[in-house]
């Protein structure tokens, strides 16, 4: 079944430095470049998650973070009595 969707086509020239410009709307974006076959490339915008932040995207961690953020929005900040907090921690640790 043929698609009726049309996509704009542009001719770009690769500069002497090996670069092409795909437009200012993509400035500072990360893209994936896949070579499907020699001379055929597919460019897709992407968001890359650093390995040390991947845990935050786990379902359980993500839902716990959302709960914590919601709690922090509903709970006003208040000054902590550090002596009382340390006493409470030492009692709980015994």
Instruction: Indicate the length of the chain as a whole number.
Output: 94
14-39 residue pLDDT tens: 999 999 999 899 999 999 999 999 99
Q: Determine the pLDDT at residue 3.
A: 63
- Alpha carbons 26 and 12: distance in angstroms, whole number: 15
Please provide the distance, in angstroms rounded to a whole number, between the alpha carbons at the two ends of the chain.
Answer: 72
pLDDT tier at 8, thresholds 50, 70, 90: confident
Q: Determine the pLDDT at residue 36.
A: 95
Distance of CA 82 to the CA centre of its chain: 36
- Mean pLDDT over all residues of the chain? 89
């Amino acid at each position: 079944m043929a698609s009726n969707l049309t996509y704009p086509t542009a001719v770009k020239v690769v500069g002497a430095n090996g670069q092409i410009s795909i437009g200012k709307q993509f400035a500072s974006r990360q893209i994936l470049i896949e070579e499907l076959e020699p001379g055929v490339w597919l460019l897709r915008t992407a968001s890359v998650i650093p390995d040390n932040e991947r845990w935050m995207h786990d379902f359980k961690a993500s839902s716990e973070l959302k709960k914590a953020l919601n709690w922090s929005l509903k709970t006003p900040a208040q000054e902590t009595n550090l002596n009382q907090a340390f006493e409470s921690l030492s009692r709980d640790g015994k």
